[in-house]
């Protein structure tokens, strides 16, 4: 089952489908409304700023049965860490500004074709007081220390932020359409920033449709001397629809078993309906907690982050934990860095327990049902992921607006997790990802 799931995922990766969402037009109208609102009082004095950034990267894996983004063991590929973005900021002298940024990425897990331009930011911003700002439009969810600059390779040490924290599965939570309110307030020696946000998001992730109907949360950051600490909490009511024919067939299979058991007056028949429900997510709540700390001491930089997510405990529910620590040291234009991290994703154990319990309702003997149950349990255990990584890299600022980075990342895992395994032989327990990238800002 897993292999087929991966095949479907790969097809989706290679031939992404544009989805015309019914909400899209409404949302764009909202965004345009914000823009109009912002441009109306802008007649006084308007200033424009144009800028951009770009990255061009290449990478390769040490094992040719795996796939990490578009990196494989066969040859160097160039899309995963390559991106180009253009930005315009329009500022008026009267507290308003409008920011737009268009990004084209070489690789995403979502519905975009390689290098298809997409709207990363488009918002109007208004300064209510010297300390309070409100923004509305397309924004980014502030989940991580580097959430808002995730694509700007130039702004951080690594080739890409560590995937133990900046996990692939969180990609649908990159952007949202909504509002946020930011308070900048110094209290004694602490320079604080509090943000609250609310909105919605829609995205695809490896062929699954992820609809974040409602997202809301807060982010708090404080700077004190050389230290920065941050915390983000987010509450998401969301649905996931998986069009994978295997999943659809499995759900139908369990529903059929439920009907059969009900018709035969077998007590506990509803357990099959419950199992079918664990294969979908329908308007349930996922919560996110992210912690971050950074220490800037002369040439030293230490960055640490940790995430924890909580599933709904019903339906398709899993929990994730991840953390990393990076130490970097600047020596003139060179900055070597080392990073370690760990990531764990576990399916709700109730799902497996329920399948085992279903054998007491209908015991083994019906081949199709037994096969279905065995495969579901196997695929659920495949969704439980654990990996650890150690990264060595160096950044070289060869120009005042450009940096070259070279990085080797050693992953060891129980399950290949955020990488895809082609299933051709025994699953490897480690892999080295080597990548090189040039980041520029202009």
Partner 1 sequence: MNKIKPINKIRKALLPLLLGGGLCLSAHADLVVVVHPSNPVANLSEEEVRRIFMGRMRLFPQGEASIEAVDQEETRPEFAKFYEAISGLTPAKLKRQRASYLFSGKGRLPASLPDDAAVLDYVANHPGGIGYVTRDQIDTRVKAVLAISE
Residues that bind partner 1 (CB under 8 A): 47, 49, 51, 53, 85, 87, 89, 91, 93-95, 97, 99, 101, 121, 123, 125, 127, 129-131, 133, 135, 139-140, 146, 148-149, 151-152, 154-156, 184, 186, 191, 193, 226, 296, 298-299, 301, 330, 333, 335, 397, 400, 441
Contacts of residue 258, Cβ cutoff 8 Å, sequence gap at least 6? 269, 270, 271, 272, 273, 276
Which lies closer to partner 1 via its Cβ, residue 85 or residue 232? 85
Which lies closer to partner 1 via its Cβ, residue 54 or residue 276? 54
What is the rounded distance in angstroms from the CA atom of residue 105 to the CA atom of residue 107?
5
C-alpha distances out from residue 1 to 6, 65, 414, Å = 9, 17, 18
Q: CB 290 → partner 1: shortest distance, Å? A: 16
Which lies closer to partner 1 via its Cβ, residue 297 or residue 353? 297
Which lies closer to partner 1 via its Cβ, residue 47 or residue 270? 47
Which lies closer to partner 1 via its Cβ, residue 272 or residue 337? 337
Which lies closer to partner 1 via its Cβ, residue 267 or residue 298? 298
Show the tokens assigned to 207. Answer: 């062929």
Q: CB 70 → partner 1: shortest distance, Å? A: 24
Q: CB 101 → partner 1: shortest distance, Å? A: 7
Q: CB 436 → partner 1: shortest distance, Å? A: 19
Contact at 8 Å (CB) between 398 and 404?
yes
Which lies closer to partner 1 via its Cβ, residue 294 or residue 418? 294
Show the tokens assigned to 183. Answer: 């308070």
Residue 372 CB neighbour total at 10 angstroms:
22
Show the tokens assigned to 130. Answer: 């010297």
Contact at 8 Å (CB) between 49 and 91?
yes
Which lies closer to partner 1 via its Cβ, residue 161 or residue 311? 161
C-alpha distances out from residue 417 to 71, 164, 167, 431, Å = 15, 11, 10, 12
C-alpha distances out from residue 131 to 24, 33, 42, 68, 184, Å = 33, 25, 22, 43, 5
Q: CB 303 → partner 1: shortest distance, Å? A: 12
Show the tokens assigned to 6. Answer: 């991966």
Which lies closer to partner 1 via its Cβ, residue 80 or residue 101? 101
C-alpha distances out from residue 205 to 67, 134, 325, 371, 405, Å = 16, 30, 27, 28, 28
Query: In the chain, what's the furthest Cα-to-Cα distance?
Result: 79
Which lies closer to partner 1 via its Cβ, residue 186 or residue 366? 186
What is the rounded distance in angstroms from the CA atom of residue 149 to the CA atom of residue 195?
17
Q: CB 202 → partner 1: shortest distance, Å? A: 20
Q: CB 74 → partner 1: shortest distance, Å? A: 34
CA-nearest of 161, 198, 102 to 391 is 161
Order of strands, sheet of 66-68, starting from the edge strand that comes earlier in the sequence:
71-72, 66-68, 420-421
Which lies closer to partner 1 via its Cβ, residue 241 or residue 295? 295
Q: For tokens 């495969």, what's the residue?
A: 375
What's the chain's length in residues? Answer: 442
C-alpha distances out from residue 25 to 16, 76, 118, 125, Å = 20, 39, 15, 22
Q: CB 233 → partner 1: shortest distance, Å? A: 20
Q: CB 93 → partner 1: shortest distance, Å? A: 5
Q: CB 95 → partner 1: shortest distance, Å? A: 6
Q: CB 89 → partner 1: shortest distance, Å? A: 5
Show the tokens assigned to 382. Answer: 């495949």
């Amino acid at each position: 089952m897993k292999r087929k799931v991966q095949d479907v995922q790969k097809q989706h990766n290679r031939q992404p489908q544009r989805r015309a969402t019914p909400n899209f037009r409404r949302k764009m109208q909202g965004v345009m409304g914000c823009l109009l609102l912002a441009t109306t009082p802008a007649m006084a004095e308007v200033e424009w700023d144009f800028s951009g950034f770009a990255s061009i990267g290449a990478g390769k894996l040490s094992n040719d049965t795996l796939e990490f983004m578009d990196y494989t063991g066969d040859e160097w590929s160039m899309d995963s860490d390559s991106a180009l973005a253009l930005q315009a900021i329009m500022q008026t002298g009267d507290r308003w500004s409008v920011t737009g940024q268009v990004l084209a990425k070489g690789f995403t897990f979502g519905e975009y074709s390689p290098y298809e331009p997409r709207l990363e930011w488009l918002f109007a911003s208004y300064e209510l007081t010297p300390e309070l700002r409100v923004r509305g439009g397309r924004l980014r969810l502030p989940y991580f220390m580097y959430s808002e600059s995730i694509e700007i390779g130039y702004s951080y040490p690594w080739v890409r932020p560590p995937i133990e924290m900046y996990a692939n599965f969180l990609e649908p939570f990159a952007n949202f359409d909504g509002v946020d309110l930011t308070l900048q307030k110094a209290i004694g020696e602490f320079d604080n920033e509090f943000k609250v946000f609310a909105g919605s998001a829609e995205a695809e992730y490896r062929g699954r449709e992820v609809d974040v109907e409602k997202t809301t949360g807060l982010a708090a950051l404080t700077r004190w001397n050389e230290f920065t600490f941050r915390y983000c909490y987010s509450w998401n009511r969301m649905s996931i629809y998986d069009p994978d024919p295997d999943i659809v067939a499995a759900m139908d299979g369990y529903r059929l078993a439920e009907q059969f058991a009900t018709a035969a007056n077998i007590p506990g028949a509803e357990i099959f309906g419950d199992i079918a429900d664990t294969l979908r997510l329908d308007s349930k709540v996922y919560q996110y907690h992210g912690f971050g700390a950074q220490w800037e001491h002369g040439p030293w930089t230490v960055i640490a982050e940790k995430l924890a997510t909580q599933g709904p405990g019903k339906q398709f529910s899993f929990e994730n934990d991840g953390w990393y620590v990076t130490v970097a040291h600047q020596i003139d234009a060179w900055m070597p860095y080392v990073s370690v991290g760990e990531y764990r994703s576990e399916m709700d154990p109730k799902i497996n327990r329920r399948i085992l319990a279903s054998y007491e309702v209908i015991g083994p003997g019906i081949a199709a049902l037994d096969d279905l149950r065995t495969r579901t349990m196997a695929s659920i255990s495949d969704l439980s992921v654990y990996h650890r990584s150690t990264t060595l890299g160096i950044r070289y600022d060869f120009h005042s607006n450009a940096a070259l980075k070279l990085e080797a990342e050693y992953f060891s895992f129980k399950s290949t997790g955020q990488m895809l395994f082609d299933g051709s032989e025994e699953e490897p327990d480690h892999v080295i990802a080597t990548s090189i990238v040039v980041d520029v800002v202009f």
